[in-house]
Amino acid sequence: MPYLRVRTEAGDRRIPFTPGGTLRELLAGAGFPIRSGCAGVGACGLCLVRIEAGEVPPPTENELRMLRPEQMRRGERLACQVVPARGLTLAIDPAPLCPAWLSLPADAPGPPLPAPAERRAVAGGTSLGVAVDLGTTHIRLTLWDLAQGKRLSGRTGANPQALFGSDVMTRLTAACASREDAAQLARLARDAIGAALSDIAAREGCRLAEIGRVAIVGNSAMLALLAQRNYDLLLKPAYWTRAIDCRPEGTASWCSAWGIDPRAAVELLQPLAGFVGSDLLAGVLATRLTGEPGGALLIDFGTNSEIALWDGATLWVTSAAGGPAFEGCGISCGMPAEPGAIYRIEAQRPAPGFRCEVIGGGRAQGICGSGLVDIIALLRSAGVLNGAGSFSAEVDSRGVAIQEQGGLLLLNGRDIDGFQRAKAAIGAGTRCLMQLSGLHLGQLKRVCVCGAFGRFLHVPNAQSIGLLPEVPAEGVELCGNSALAGCELLLFSRDISGTLAALAGRARTINLAQAPGFEELFVESLYLRPLRMDP
């Protein structure tokens, strides 16, 4: 029987195998999960391994499209595309099952809290509460002293469900195909929340047993997968504008696993409908969007992006498949907005080139979503990119060099295309809601940019390529993680479900797949030009 010799930082291991499966499947079965964003169809380019010895089949068409020639010369291949027939020696960097937890900034703004007497009434005999934003790419949570109205700590880390794909559809498909995978998807999310709480307890000395209330918001897919309930309905278009029940059968086992008060109230805040989750409703609460007379827009950027438009009477909402580009994933030199990521790029003057700012300083390791917006806007204004997203003839076939200190970062045509599609989904969704509401651009007074993507966003660059509508700069607010802020606010509500139900009663959910003219709006929004919506 042939075997794989797998080399990692921890050492070597021999894995016997029966020919017929891909390297991705063989490695996952042996306990070496490989990062993947496309469920193993060769469309994301994330499951890289390096073949050091042995005979392998020629590169597939997907590999020739995804990998650069120098990568293949180094022996790099996509694990999901290689079907070994004989023994191989390969080096891998296995994806961690548990994320590394980072502390949320201590100066992160908190939600507007109720008066002290009301806070004490909500707390009752409960000392601590936890707010959780369960995102597709990241999980963020904060620990609160409910009586004092004080945020004690916070953590952020990658959602380990990414092992099953970087977008919600691949995870839902995996869960529907296998009960075992569905159970593992739920377990990965629950264990990650528990690990974040344990990290807080270990590093900051908080007593988890005093946690008596947990509120969790998220998009519909994340909540359904966590609860292991009705996730199959999300793959049926008939349910995309209907409410999806994501309430778990019980949470006592969750409390036990997390080490919190066994009587703690754990509430999954229910989504509005289809792919419009409770994270969007929480964001609407945090930004007080419906407190405006009308003409207020909220865009929560993410892998599953959500949009809300308030016209003064109705909250028009929808979701758009933005893809992972806003999170820096699926981009050849991309990474999340973490230390080492280029988050701001400016033209270098007087010499040609770019000046890059890196989160945390030091050497750049990649580029995050806001940096991607900057470089595309700069290339467009310089004529290096045309409105259709094509490079000029003088650009090297490998792409455009962004930063060369300590290594070469290249932005290629496939990266531009991925961003354009993500941008077009947002633009078409926004324009669709504007048309349905009867509002035009001149009536749009406020734009709330939400999500980690918006934290470093340079608004003029985003507007110049059509990512945000052209409204006066003072009308654009970078709101950060509004979903988490809204969840924190809901921790202090006596009737969380009632609060959300009142908001949901004013909402109208739109399924973009059935919206008239959406395909035409999507194509128009692909162009790298300002987003204009006047009649």
pLDDT score, position 525: 92
Q: Average pLDDT, stretch 491-517?
A: 85
Say if CB 24 and CB 83 are below 8 A apart.
no
Q: Average pLDDT, stretch 126-139?
A: 90
Q: Average pLDDT, stretch 102-110?
A: 68
pLDDT score, position 51: 93
Q: Residue 483: which H helix or E strand, with range?
A: helix 482-491
- CA–CA gap between residue 225 and residue 172 (Å, rounded): 8
Q: Average pLDDT, stretch 524-532?
A: 89
DSSP-derived letter for residue 331 is S
- CA–CA gap between residue 53 and residue 71 (Å, rounded): 16
Q: Tell me how long the chain is.
A: 535
pLDDT at 37 over 70: no
Q: Average pLDDT, stretch 23-46?
A: 75
Tens-place pLDDT, residues 213-261: 999 999 999 999 999 999 999 999 888 888 899 999 999 999 999 999 9
pLDDT band at 494 (very low <50, low <70, confident <90, very high): confident
pLDDT score, position 95: 54
Q: What is the three-class DSSP state of 410?
A: strand
pLDDT at 324 over 90: no
pLDDT score, position 89: 92
- CA–CA gap between residue 248 and residue 231 (Å, rounded): 12
The encoded tokens of residue 259 equal 């080490």
Name 311's Cβ contacts closer than 8 Å, sequence gap at least 6.
294, 295, 437, 438, 439
Give CA separation, 81 vs 69, 88, 123, 162, 486, in Å. Answer: 16, 15, 54, 19, 42
- In this predicted structure, which of 55-69, 99-113, 135-149, 256-270 has the lowest mean pLDDT? 99-113
pLDDT score, position 180: 92
C-alpha distance across the termini of the chain, in Å: 68
pLDDT at 122 over 70: no
pLDDT score, position 114: 67
Reply yes or no: is the peptide bond before residue 350 cis, omega within 30 of 0: yes
Which of residues 519 and 107 earns the better pLDDT score?
Answer: 519
% residues pLDDT > 70 (the chain): 90
Q: Average pLDDT, stretch 88-102?
A: 72
pLDDT band at 34 (very low <50, low <70, confident <90, very high): confident
pLDDT score, position 487: 94
pLDDT at 527 over 90: yes
Tens-place pLDDT, residues 286-319: 999 998 888 999 999 887 889 999 999 999 999 8
pLDDT band at 44 (very low <50, low <70, confident <90, very high): confident
Q: What is the three-class DSSP state of 18?
A: coil
- CA–CA gap between residue 301 and residue 409 (Å, rounded): 24
Which of residues 528 and 119 earns the better pLDDT score?
Answer: 528
Q: Which residues in 174-325 belong to E strands, given as ranges? A: 211-218, 265-268, 296-300, 305-310, 315-320
| CB environment 497-526: b (16+ within 10 A), e (fewer) | eebbeebbeebbbbbbeebeebeebbebbb
The domains located in the chain, with CATH, are 3-91 (3.10.20.30), 102-271 (3.30.420.480), 288-535 (no CATH)
Tens-place pLDDT, residues 168-194: 888 999 999 999 999 999 999 999 999
Q: Average pLDDT, stretch 202-206?
A: 86
pLDDT at 13 over 90: no
Task: Give the residue carrying structure tokens 């191989």.
Answer: 88
Say if CB 467 and CB 423 are below 8 A apart.
yes
pLDDT at 516 over 90: no
Q: Average pLDDT, stretch 423-443?
A: 91
| CB environment 383-420: b (16+ within 10 A), e (fewer) | eebeeebebeeebeeebbebbeeeeebebbbebbebbb
Tens-place pLDDT, residues 327-372: 766 777 888 777 888 899 888 765 567 888 888 888 888 888 899 9
Which of residues 144 and 40 earns the better pLDDT score?
Answer: 144
% residues pLDDT > 90 (the chain): 45
Say if CB 84 and CB 19 are below 8 A apart.
yes
Most confident of 223-227, 447-451, 498-502, 511-515: 223-227
Q: What is the three-class DSSP state of 277?
A: coil
Q: Residue 196: which H helix or E strand, with range?
A: helix 179-204
Which of residues 68 and 105 earns the better pLDDT score?
Answer: 68
Q: Average pLDDT, stretch 513-525?
A: 89
pLDDT band at 533 (very low <50, low <70, confident <90, very high): low
pLDDT score, position 68: 77
> DSSP letter string over 121-185?
HHHTT--EEEEEEE-SSEEEEEEEETTTTEEEEEEEEE-GGGGG-SSHHHHHHHHHH-HHHHHHH
pLDDT score, position 125: 66
The encoded tokens of residue 387 equal 């409105």
| Residue-averaged pLDDT of the chain | 86
DSSP-derived letter for residue 490 is H
pLDDT at 138 over 80: yes
Quote the distance between the C-alpha of residue 523 and its chain's center.
Answer: 23
The encoded tokens of residue 142 equal 């904060």
